[in-house]
Each structure stands twice: as structure tokens, then as C-alpha cells.
Amino acid sequence: MRVFKFGGASVKDANAVKNVLKVLEETGYSNLVIVVSAMGKTTNALEKIVTSYLKKDSDLDSLLDHIKIYHQEIVLQLFDNEQHSVFKDVEQLFVDLDTTLKRNKSTRYDYIYDQIVSYGELLASTILSRYLNYKGYQNKWLDARDVIKTDNAYRDAEIDWEVTKQSILKGVNKKGLSVTQGFIGSDENNFTTTLGREGSDYTAGIFAYCLNADSVSIWKDVPGVLNADPRVFDTTQLLSHISYEEAIELAFYGASVIHPKTIQPLQRKEIPLYVKSFLHPQNQGTSVKKGQPLDPHLPCYIVKKNQILLSLSSLDFSFIVEDNISEIFSLFHQYHIKVDLIQNSAISFSVCLDDKFNNFESLLSKLKAKFRVTYNTDVSLFTIRHFTNEAITTLEKEKDILLKQITRETYQMVTRY
Ligand code: ADP
Ligand code: ASP
Ligand code: MG
């Protein structure tokens, strides 16, 4: 079995959806699970709906209309036959979304978020699955929520591996073609959960692990994993071969081409991961496998924007030692704030933080009760894996550097903006 993941960019409009067929034509499509994420920027648009809904803003209906029209136009361009059942199916999903909004009694942001944002994947997978059938690529639509079982940590749910594995083995037709959603699952009470932004890659990893798949391919708008994000750096080169360890490091430091959680389940079963271009499916792309040296061996640049640099010192100039540090870290954990980098001296402790869930303000008031706090928001964290002196000199040019750190293979700096 193989698992393919098509992300937002690969299904962003009707032509992109048609191109998925081309990919399948070139690579074959038997014994295959396709994991698809929301079309284009739909997830961002649905996030706006959540905000508008909770604030009772007047723009809610127009935001909903935008998403609806966007999907309807894609369907209209894909299906010549306006009697096709897909029109009703898509309409029904919007009715369901509307009902979800109207019936909801909860005020919990994270819970509501998952119930609403998951519609992006439900729409994309419905349209893709119906289109493939329409064009003769017989497939079964699978509701990922029936098989991906999680805890109820909405927006960042953890997989219940035992139940998920049993359900996937039971629910997936190993001989045919299945189309399912990335990013979403469900908890014990069958409420929808999500696995964290960009989590569809992870879903592909979960299916592959549970099915003992031969490989996972994630289809991207880039030739593969490059030594830097082409949106940020002018010159980039394709990495043809990398190890699981390298991929985890790159993803952890913020190379957003692979979701960091994707690699672990694959590495446990030594399932190869291919990152390939959906525009040139015949090209090799990047292969991620056990122990293979980075090839070509190049410095790899990663930038994470919108980070926070926080420095804490004790109010009485006493040392910041293990017990304070463990207390500080338990607060980060409690507020779902991710620590990218740590540096400490006798009386001060600095961390670069990723506040994905916007909890920093609440955390600050806790910290201020115990520590002297200074911080910069909107900082960037630059990482160079396999740095060279030349790479560092070039990167540092004209940057306002707040902190630097170098270990054997990794150079990092935090800069203003
Ligand atoms: P998807 O369509 O699957 O959601 P993403 O947009 O999440 O795809 O990921 C692809 C994007 O990741 C690329 O367009 C590129 O800008 C960005 N990216 C960041 N770092 C890298 C890297 N090291 N190599 C390739 N692409 C990268
Ligand atoms: N659609 C989700 C997101 O945009 C999941 C994904 O794309 O992987 O975050
Ligand atoms: Mg993505």
C-alpha cells in the first residue's frame, strides 16, 4: 500500500484538482490511500468564521458565502453535468456547517474551532472523491473521523494509537483507492478534533504506520525539500536524500514543508517518505529514509517569524536554577507555548517562544508575579543546519541580532523582525 497526501496548494482550484488525476495516471492508483487537506486557503477563511461567529460580527454571512462560492465554482468547472450528486453533497455540507453554528451552545473556542474548521477537509475530500469517480477512478470516500481517534485536546489532539490502528485496518480497503481527510479526527464522544495546523502530513504518516504502507508521498508546489524556503530565500537547492533525523530537525526548527509530527510514525516502521512536485510527478523529489546522509551536503536555512523572545530574572537577583526552570517550563506546557531555543546565565533565563495559540498575554501575568520579565514580540528565529562561516556571515548581514547560539551542527539567531 501507498499513502499520498495532497495539500491545499495541490487542490486550490479546478485545474489543480484535474492535475491530481495526472499525478495518479503517472504513478498508478491501486492500493492507495489519498489524504487531502482543505482547498487553497480555506482553513484560514474558516478560522475567520470562528472568530466572527464568537464575536457575533455582522460579516459572518458574507464570509460563509465566500467559502461557499469558492467551492461551488470549483465544482462547476469540474463537472459538466449539473445534475451530478456532488452539487447536492456540497450544498449539504454547507447546510451542516450552518446547523453546527446555529445549534452550538459551547463557548469554548478550541472546541468550536474544530467543529467548524474541519469542514474545509470534508469539502475538499468530497469534491476530489466524487471527481475521481466521475472520471473513472473508482474510489471510496472515508470519513477520517471514523478511524482517527484522539483525545479531546481540541486543536492539538493526540492520537489514540491502539484504537486508531484497529479502526484503520478495519475501515480501509487495502486493494482499492480510498480518499480521506487530513488534519481531522474525533474524540471518544465522536466530536470532531483537529491535529494542529498543517496536520494533514501527519495524518498521512498515521495511515501509513497503521497500514504498514510501503511509502508515503506528499505532493507539493516545490520540487521537494529544499535547503531553504523559496518564499524567503532567493537561491535554494533541492535536497535529494535526507535521513529521518535530518527531516525531524528541519521540521522542528520550522521548515514548514513537512509537519514535524509526520516523521516519527514513519521512522518507527522505516517507511520511506517522498516529497515531490505535483507539477512534475516524474521527478525524483526528496526521499527521506533511515540513515541516508544529507545529499547534497549543504547549509540548510530555516526562518520562523512571529516568535517571542522572553527573558526572565529573579526579582531578588537570586540564581535561576533547576526549580525555577522546571516551574517556568510547566507553565509553557500549561499554556501550549512551544520553546524553540533556550539560553541561560546565572540570574537570567531567555527563551524563544512560539505562541501558536495566543496564550502569551495570560502567561505573562503569571510570570510577572514571580520574575522580572522583559520580552520582544515579532522576532524572527533563523536556524542554519550544517552551517559554514560563510553562511553565517551572509545571513547576519544587516540584521539586528538579539541572541545567538551555536552547537555542533546548528547555528541559531534571534533577530528583531
Ligand atoms: P501544502 O500544500 O501541502 O499545504 P505547504 O504550503 O504547507 O504545502 O508547504 C509547501 C511550502 O513550504 C512551499 O511552498 C514552501 O514555500 C514552503 N517551505 C518552507 N520551507 C521549505 C523547504 N525547506 N523546502 C521546500 N519548501 C519549503
Ligand atoms: N487544512 C489544514 C491547515 O491548513 C491542514 C493542512 O493543510 O495540513 O492547517
Ligand atoms: Mg499546508
6 is in an annotated binding site: yes
- The residue type found at 159 is I
CA-nearest of 95, 120, 143 to 11 is: 120
Q: Which of 227, 256, 382 to mutate to test the pocket of ligand 1 (most atoms within 8 A of CB)?
A: 256
In the chain, residues under CATH classification 3.40.1160.10 are 38-206
How many Å separate Cα 172 from the centre of its chain? 23
Distance in angstroms (rounded) separating the CA atoms of residues 275 and 225? 7
Residue with the three cell numbers 547576519: 396
Distance 257 CA to ligand 1 centre (A): 4
Between the alpha carbon of residue 83 and those of residues 65, 76, 128, 259, the distances in Å are 22, 11, 17, 39
Distance in angstroms (rounded) separating the CA atoms of residues 158 and 161? 9
Q: Which of 11, 36, 37 to mutate to test the pocket of ligand 2 (most atoms within 8 A of CB)?
A: 37
Distance 286 CA to ligand 1 centre (A): 13
CA-nearest of 132, 139, 128, 136 to 74 is: 128
Q: Which atom of ligand 2 is nearest to the CA of 198?
A: 8
pLDDT averaged per 10 residues in sequence order, the chain, 417 residues: 97 98 96 98 98 95 97 97 93 98 95 98 98 97 98 97 98 94 98 97 98 98 97 96 96 92 97 98 97 96 97 84 86 94 88 94 93 96 97 96 95 95
Ligand index nearest the alpha carbon of residue 10: 1
102 is in an annotated binding site: no
Distance 363 CA to ligand 3 centre (A): 28
pLDDT score of 358: 92
pLDDT score of 249: 94
pLDDT score of 104: 96
Find the angle CA(388)-CA(393)-CA(398) to the nearest 5 degrees.
Answer: 150
Distance 124 CA to ligand 3 centre (A): 14
Bridging pattern class, strands 286-289 and 273-277:
antiparallel
Distance in angstroms (rounded) separating the CA atoms of residues 148 and 186? 6
8 is in an annotated binding site: yes
To the nearest 5 percent, what fractions of the chain are helix, strand and coil? 40, 25, 35
pLDDT score of 309: 97
How many Å separate Cα 180 from the centre of its chain? 16
CA-nearest of 22, 31, 207 to 131 is: 22
285 is in an annotated binding site: no
Q: What is the DSSP letter of 11?
A: G
Note the residue count of the chain.
417
pLDDT score of 22: 97
Question: 10 in ligand 2 pocket by Cβ < 6 Å?
Answer: no
Distance in angstroms (rounded) separating the CA atoms of residues 220 and 224? 7
Q: Which atom of ligand 2 is nearest to the CA of 197?
A: 9
Question: 299 in ligand 1 pocket by Cβ < 6 Å?
Answer: no
pTM of the model: 0.94
300-415 has CATH 3.40.50.720 classification: no
Measured over the CA atoms of residue 257, residue 262, residue 266 and residue 267, the dihedral's sign is positive
Question: 223 in ligand 1 pocket by Cβ < 6 Å?
Answer: no
Give Cβ neighbours of residue 53 (< 8 Å, ≥ 6 apart).
60, 101, 112, 116
Q: Are 219 and 23 in contact (CB under 8 A)?
A: yes
pLDDT score of 81: 84
Q: Which atom of ligand 1 is nearest to the CA of 6?
A: 3
Q: How many CB atoms lie within 10 A of CB 109?
A: 15
- Which residue's C-alpha comes closest to atom 5 of ligand 2? 198
Distance 199 CA to ligand 2 centre (A): 6
CATH number of 38-206: 3.40.1160.10
In the chain, residues under CATH classification 3.30.2130.10 are 300-415
